[in-house]
Amino acid sequence: MLDVILRGGLIVDGTGTPGYYTDIALKDGRIARIGDCSTADAAERLDCTGLAIAPGFIDMHGHSDEILLVDPLADAKIRQGVTTEVGGNCGASPGPLSQDEFDSRKRSYKDAYGFDLETSTIGGFLDALDSAEPVMNFCTLVGCGETRAAVGGIDDTPLDKDALRRECDLVRDACEQGAIGISSGLIYPPGRFADIAELTALASAARDAGSPLYASHIRSEGRDLVEAVEEALEIGARTGVGVQLSHHKASGKANWGKVHDSLALVERSRTSGNDVVLDQYPYKASSTGLDVILPKDVNVGSADVVLARLADKRYAALVAARVELEYSDRWNDVMIAAVASEKHRGFEGMTVAQIAQSQQRRPVVVALDLLVQERLQVAAIFFTMCEDDVRTVLSYAHTSIGSDASVRSVGGITARGKPHPRAFGTFPRIFKRYVRDSRLLTLEEAVRRATRLPATRLGLRDRGELREGWHADIVAFDPATIADMSTYEDPYRYPVGLSHVFVNGVAVVRDGLSTGSKGGRVLRRGRDL
């Protein structure tokens, strides 16, 4: 007897080929049959008339990581159809952590969530996640920011040969523990202190350990976008690893349109035989720490060191003058998303300009003062992109989809601040805004970007397509009504139009609501990839 039959839906199999109507049957966590199942016995039948049935969506660029231990039900992900997430992005990962970083992260998780973080390695984290039984599948990169810090490379100086050897050893160890590749975050300290020689050595170490993937938050997404893309492509060419350009964009009005040049570079590299893929979230705003406004030579070292610098009033005034040169006319485009303390909770959802007006202070002083009082723990949303660029990047055939967000819920311990709406709406927004409304992509092509393209990039076994015998990661949604509901003003809203989500054959969403069941698996290099 079959477990479940989904009857009469439009099968959109992930390959990009036209959909067709038939049944699909699940048994023991696998797709047992695609075809007429009208006479088959099954424990459950779901009428999918009017629904598209697709492979579960793969979030190519997520940041859930340890939050999955706090919230393994991951409502905001599964309710937009995500069945697999790639974590460890932007140079930050659950390990390997230096003792200082582990102690800091342990305190942070205890204070914020009442959760005791107990591991500082990739292997230990994956084991803990296995025990937590996540609702969705998860795999992780190892972050080069963590590996650099773990060998003491927290300053803007090249690593000596011994430190670089130890860093490469950490990368190999992490990949042998299950990491699928490496990531860099080249605007964040200490990862941004790595030069191309160091990054090439780390990518080679990952390749030699069987994890040939380099995902990069590149060194610039603004003025030096083209040069930053060239660096990432060069690392791929030198090492033969696949290159993933993270959340590809052009930030700042002066740089709008540069994505045409960056995509031309990518296409030339691919034509030369290099393996290059992008990911993107479909929004015009980014989100990261407010401390990115600090000049690079200021934001060096631990938070204590940076704050000690800013405690000098003369030095802080010089920093303010430098920040103002770049942000003088942009404070209306910087919105506070989250703060660490209750003291400034009322600022969440306000722009720096609005806060400054309410206090009759200069915006730059408000921003720097907030960073100091919150010990740099301020998240912000930056409205820096344009719709034409979003459409251009999404139009490129080798662009996959990534939320750039961690798991959330509309209530409970992870419902804090005013997070970017991408946390709740990334995948439904693709289907509403760029398939149904503007017809930029066909339904079948949008499904391919969210399924087969990332699955092929990752080398996932038996996932990313609807095929008999493959894992039953499946989403059923209404192409006519699927829509993101989350906004910048009101982010805690689940999407509509998604009916059912199965992870390894387990129904985690039924009739649009989370079931509380868990079907996810930890996916490790060497075992599942």
| Structure confidence by residue, pLDDT tens digits, 169-206 | 999 999 999 999 999 999 999 999 999 999 999 999 99
Cβ count near 415 (within 10 Å): 14
Q: Does residue 302 lie in a domain region? A: yes
Distance CA 449, CA 14 (A): 8
Number of domains in the chain: 1
The enclosing H or E element of 371 equals helix 363-373
Helices (H), 222-302: 225-239, 259-271
Q: Alpha-carbon dihedral of residues 182, 187, 191, 194, nearest 10 degrees?
A: 100
**121-127-128 Cα angle (round to 5):** 90
pLDDT in tens, 276-317: 999 999 999 999 999 999 999 999 988 899 999 999 999 999
pLDDT in tens, 65-123: 999 999 999 999 999 999 999 999 999 999 999 999 999 999 999 988 999 999 999 99
Using 50, 70 and 90 to split pLDDT, how confident is the model at 264? very high
Strand partners, 244: 215, 277
- Which pTM value belongs to this model? 0.97
Q: Does residue 142 lie in a domain region? A: no
Q: Which residues lie closer than 8 Å to 480 by C-beta, 6 or more apart?
A: 50, 436, 497
pLDDT at 371 over 90: yes
Q: Does residue 517 lie in a domain region? A: no
Q: Does residue 329 lie in a domain region? A: yes
pLDDT in tens, 434-489: 999 999 999 999 999 999 999 999 999 999 999 999 999 999 999 999 999 999 99
Distance CA 516, CA 74 (A): 10
Q: Does residue 326 lie in a domain region? A: yes
Q: Does residue 89 lie in a domain region? A: no
Q: Are 351 and 333 in contact (CB under 8 A)?
A: yes
Distances from the Cα of 324 to the Cα of 202, 331, 453, angstroms: 36, 10, 42
Nearest Cα to 180, choosing from 209, 204, 202?
209
Q: Does residue 521 lie in a domain region? A: no
pLDDT in tens, 349-368: 999 999 999 999 999 999 99
Q: Is the peptide bond before 96 cis (omega within 30 degrees of 0)?
A: yes
Res 178: pLDDT: 97
pLDDT in tens, 32-45: 999 999 999 999 99
Res 224: pLDDT: 98
Q: Does residue 376 lie in a domain region? A: yes
Nearest Cα to 296, choosing from 411, 155, 438, 116?
155
